[in-house]
Each structure stands twice: as C-alpha cells, then as structure tokens.
Amino acid sequence: MLGWNDFEVAPAEAGYYTMALVDGQRVAGMMTASDDERAMAVPPHWNTYVCTTSADDSAERAQELGGTVVAGPFDVLDVGRMAVVLDREGAAISVWEPRAHPGFGLLRQPGAFTWVQLGSRDPEQAKAFYTELFGWKPEVHTEPMPYTEWKVNGTPVAGMLEITPDMGPMPVSWQVFFEVSDPDGAVDQAKQAGGAVYVEPMDVPAGRFGTLGDPQGAVFSVMKSGPLMTQG
C-alpha cells in the first residue's frame, strides 16, 4: 500500500527497531511495544517526533507549560536523545535531539511522511502550548473550516483541526499522513488487508486523503498532496 520496499533491522540491544525504506531512504520506524506500554494498555499507534536542539530543555519547557513528561529524556544508542511528552490535553508527542540519525530521508514522496495534524478540543490553548514549546508560528484559516497551520521560517510543518461535538468520541491526538499517488486505491488495499476505514477518501484544500486503521488498530492517513502542500 505504501510501497515500502526494504527494511533496516537494528540489533537485539536496540529492540530490533525496524526502519522502513523507500528507494534506500528512511521513511518510518517500527518497534515492539514496551512492557510499560503493555502494562498501561497503550494501543498500537504512530509517534510524531519534532526535532529539537536539546531534548532535556524541551522536556523541561513542556512541563513548565503544563505538559507532562511520560518518558525520558534518554539516549537512543548513538542515534539521538529523546523524550515523550503529553500536552495539556493529553496528546502525546516526542522530541528528538538528533545525533547519528537526523530524521526522514525522504519527504512528500509516495510512501514517505507528508503531514502531521493535531486533533484538539481546545485549539487556543494548543496554539499557545506549541508556539511556546517549539517556536511554531500559527496561521489560522477559516475556510472551508477553521484550521491552524503551524510554520517554521515560513514553511508549513504541522496542522491542527478542532474536534467538534459532531465528530463523536474522536481522541485528542497527533495523526501522521503518508503520501500516496492514489488515496482511493490505498484505502481499497487497506480494506482488503483487514484494515479499518475511518474517513473515506475526500478532497480538501491540501489534496485528497483518507484515514485508516491497520489490523492492530494504529491510525494514520494517506494523502495525495495538492499544490498547497507541494509548494510548502
């Protein structure tokens, strides 16, 4: 479905962490849930990592802003240092201080990361939290629906959608989007492979997307980016 055509598997001391590759470039990582995650019944999920100059400083700042540090900061072998924090609504996000591993090798190409979006019930406090934590600059759009686009040096890096009552029991969380050339075909493939479809393919200003759950329940979206995204 995503065209991942090769994998790098780390040694046992790194928990057999697996990197998915597209044309030799790293595009995503996967790992077995930890004992602590299993004990807390944390469901399978995708993590979002934000690059920072200091994982320790970012974790400390998140706490000062009313967030919670739930893991770390800690070193990940020689590849980086990280921490996992919850914002004031409980959405989890990781901070990554790169060393040997700088991040994605491919962006906004089929099979690679293309966008990340926060679903929030309190967008005003979320704007304040992430602006202070990462220095992101919010740009609010009102059509076709209220939507916040965060930018760094004028480049869009993340978005936020307000969760309204008509959306039902949608969790406050970050959601990752993978680029595909055919969202409708990807959704059909997901159905055939035992996945769930939460949002059927639909057009939005940024392109065409659908939201899926893999057979274990991890939620993600597939998108064919339009000009608004590819120009970012």
Average pLDDT taken over every residue of the chain: 92
Name the residue among 173, 68, 167 with its Cα closest to residue 117. 173
pTM: 0.92
Place of tokens 């598997």: 9
| Pair 21, 30: CB distance under 8 Å | no
CB-based contact 4:27 (threshold 8 Å): yes
- Residues above pLDDT 70, as percent of the chain: 98
The SS3 assignment for 62 reads: helix
CA 4 and chain centroid, separation: 18
Mean pLDDT, rounded, for 96-115: 93
* CATH architecture designation of domain 113-230: Roll (3.10)
CA 203, 206, 210, 211 dihedral sign is: negative
What per-residue confidence (pLDDT) applies to 199? 93
**Is 6-98 a domain of CATH 3.40.50.970?**
no
Delimiting residues of CATH 3.10.180.10 domain(s) in the chain? 6-98, 113-230
